[in-house]
Structure 1
Amino acid sequence: MFPERRDFEQMILNTGTGILIHEAASKNILWANPAACRMFGLTLEELKPLKAHHMSGQEEQYRREVGVAWLQSAVVHGSSRKQWKYRSKDGVDFLTDARATLVQCEDGPVVMVEFRSIAEEVELQEELTRVSESLQRIMTHTSAGIVVLDEDNCILDISPHAAALFGRTPTELSDVHLEDLGRCEPKLDDELVVGRLDDPHGSVSIQQEVTKCDGSTTWLAGDLEIVAHDGIRSRLLTIRDVTERVEWERRNAYQEANLQYLSRYNAMGDMAMILAHELGQPLAASTNYLSGLKARLLSESVDSRSLTYGIDQIEKQLRRAADIVSSVKRHVRRIESTVALIDLNATVEESLYFVRLRAAERGIRVYAQIPERTLQIEGESVLIGQVIINLCVNAIDEIAQPTTEIKELSLETGAENGEAFVWIRDQGRGMTVVPSDRLASGAFSSKQEGSGIGLIISEHIVERHGGTIDYLPNTPNGTAVRVGLPLADRSVAAPIQLAP
């Protein structure tokens, strides 16, 4: 029994695979085998106090929270495998294939991480990919135009198909400089292009705008690369007509810009009202305190404590005014198309700041049920926040009607079936006249002189994020609006069933 245990210990101590033992609860390092110490260039005593961010790559995907979540997954599921980039004592990163396994020991559960360097395997895979891409380019030459250029980028030879893409014959294009036929991006004398083509295996992608003799514009795209044959190095350009793709991208960019403009325009009106209302309170209070200070200064006896109190209160009110301005500026900053992983709950919380301000001035209570969990979605936080504000403000305007008895707005968030959702409910007049499909299409507004532009913007934003907006009757009366957005990681959120 004991000799066998010693044999296993010797195997672990002499294996080339690195082994780290972490405490299951705290994730602290308890032990490391010699192979792991050699890879890190650290002794066992130096390794023990280290945390994930001390010994991992600096890229976003290797941050400490991700490493802890990976180890916790092994605690929950028994094992978890991941490619993880560690960092040695001298600052050199090395990519590994790592497996974390939960092991029940006499002193309690631990997580054993076995890892091995796969840097050479990655390099081999990259080389195979390069070869595969070269073969793919060769295979597509038959469907693409081919242009042979000299060192000065003048045309030595050109295929009939390529010449047709330029709207000329091969004879007409002989000895013509490529950039005389249209603007290239990047330019052929750009340092990046020159540097890439100095490499015997270098290549660079270019796009060219060509104006033909009939005045029409064609967009061509292709790869310019060096081809060596019989001791001769030639510049080979393979090109295709990508006019339809470029025009589609331009139309899409215009629609994106227009949507952002409409959203920003709609937000500006709301923010102007918030500023006008909310700044009045701290500024009026500051004025009152200043008047009190002036009165005290004119009196025969001046109490320094009361003066200090008044100055402190003025500073407090001015700081509140500055906070309000900063919040509004953050919200109506230039809306850019930056898609990222965001927490829907955090976005809703930020939007509720403005919703509560609008509701308070009209005597409406806002109830929010937001669970303490992360609802991770992929999208643009500012635009999603504007959807929440648009829908809540629409509900507030309905609740403010004299016929609405219950002056309450409720909001809930959660997740079900791989989708994060937000419910917004009021007990106003409801949709007894206008069908919900007209409301969803943006063709209805319950406000006098309302165009429904906020609903149109909200619908477009949500659709662009792959989600839906549903308008349903609330119980016992009013309207319930459900915004659904796909979760970025469907395994994160457990189903939560909530009735509308």
Structure 2
Amino acid sequence: MVNWLLKVINKYGKVMVTVVVTLIVASISVTIAVIDMLVFGHNLFPALYLSAFIPILIAPPTLYFPMSLVVKLDRTEKELETVIEGAGDALFLNDRSGKILKVNEAACQSLGYTREELMAMNVSDIQVRHSSKVLTSHWDDVALGKAATLAGEHRRKDGSTFPVEARVSALEYGDDISFLAVIRDVSERQRIHASLLESEERFRKSFENAAIGMTVTELDGKFRSVNSAWCKMIGYSEQEILSKTVAEVTFPDDIIRTTEDRQNLADGSANISLVEKRYVHKDGHIVWGFMSRAVVRGAEGEPLYFIGQIQDISERKDVELKLLDSEEKYRKLVETSHDLIWSVDNSGIFTFVNEASKLTHGYEPEEMIGQPFTNFMTAEQAEKDMAVFAKIKEGISYFDLESVHLKKDGSPVYLSFNAVVERDDQGNILGTTGSAKDITNRVLTEEQSRLHQEQLAHVSRVATMGEMATGIAHELNQPLAAIAAYIDGSLRRLNSDGQTSKPIIEALEKASDQAIRAGDVIKRLRDFVRREDSKLEDIDINDTVHTALQLLKSDFDLNRVALKFDLAQDRPIIYGDPILIQQVILNLARNSVDAMNSLESGLGKLKVNTVTEDHSVLIGISDNGPGIDLQLQEKLFEPYVSTKKSGLGLGLPICRSIINEFGGEIWFEPAPANGAVFQIRLPLHR
């Protein structure tokens, strides 16, 4: 009836329907009045008035407003139907028995049924967890006016299930109370929730089991949560650390920076804080940590708390500090070294020189950097050094050489170089770094020593020649004198006999002249080799001994002879030629070294002592060699007497001649145990 009325109203309008119905009612009333007049004889006019006029007055408002309500109700139902159908969640309307009365399209799609199929089913047909009895108990509660939210599981037409959340409320539908359930598929929410739980569990385990320190701190710096690695790093128990703030375990000098970093994170100035800082261990020592900290924000972007990761870098910092200290020491060493520290690239151009360049070359470092090293030497020396430098390309990794460079003023400087070639992983040359030591003094000293040794050798040769000349003169003068005497006697005899043989006399006279001439030649030779340009001066005997024996250092090292000095403290001074005195000491010391060759290596000992006695100084040179045969001891200072198979036997005679020339004496003494002792006495110079 209502639906028919709605159709008429929708077709003709409420006004037209009202007029028609009013006319119909009025017509019926008039008909009744006429019948009443005809049948019962009543007065027609009052009846007609009442039956026609009154319906016309009363019917329109009486009909119009109910029709408006019917139309409005219909519109409301349609709007509700539209809302239900357009809802994203599934909507079910069922009665108390669970029979499904109405569903929307979302419900059909979620379960895979058609609307007709669902409306022929019971709620229990699609419910997995709850039985009809359980559902009925819930509906009884809902019928009392209590809306309920239920969790359950629905089964689709294909048999698959999915979790749902139902919001159930009671409403009147028809003559009985029905139940409207808004069903939401919570599969995604549960998946997200499970994922969140898993993530939280994973974070919890990662947090607790992390090898590095992990912390959660409040915005004010108070610890909210810490892991065991952090407790171990800082030395506190978990309960102890949770009662503290970050500032309380931070090294005082780092507190301000830590607070500023935390503030920058909170106000959004920074997204993450990465900082190296110092913490104070419970026992008081410093712990270096690398802190990575981020802020966790709420739904509105407000900061909630901080999460920090702290890696213990104390060992690394200790290494870094030691490295910095080492680098500082190296830098100071390089800067203060008197040796030239240098680097060149693979073209030989200086890339670095230290301040020693002022000493070695007379240039400021910046004057040498950028210049080829060949610019600081002669062309001839550059050619030699470039030959060595070229070998770098052949694969050598280290080299040393001695070279002569030119200073800024043009003077030469002798340098001893050693260098290491730097290469990359592929073996390509990056450059060469090394040092250069100024050996100018050593080279000049060696040159002076060489000249000195040459001078000593010359003196030795001259002395030997002089001694030989003296010996030859001594040996030949007697026979020459005898020859001259015999010739002179023969001439006198020939003249006295009166028997002259002029040719014989002339021959004898010539022979006599030649003998005399030979004697003069020998005398002149002896005088010539003895004529020396001696430089007489005050001599410190101790210095002279040191200087002489320094020349034999290589002999001592080669033969592993131990040298010992026992020199007078008052530094005795004599007057003489230092070269000749050194020659004597050298000769005696060399004889000792040669004599000790028969000993086992390393057992040879040579002792040199000086002592002042009265107006003279006594020089003793002793060894622990095999000594000298008793038969030779008496003849040691005679010419051509030698203890060596290859010796000339002139060394000791020369020594004696030199010592005698300066008013001294030399002699031999057998050593108390074994070996030989030579003593020299020379007058002190007043």
Band the TM-score falls in, shorter-chain normalisation: 0.3 to 0.5
Q: Which has the larger radius of gyration?
A: 2
Question: TM-score with structure 1 length normalisation?
Answer: 0.36
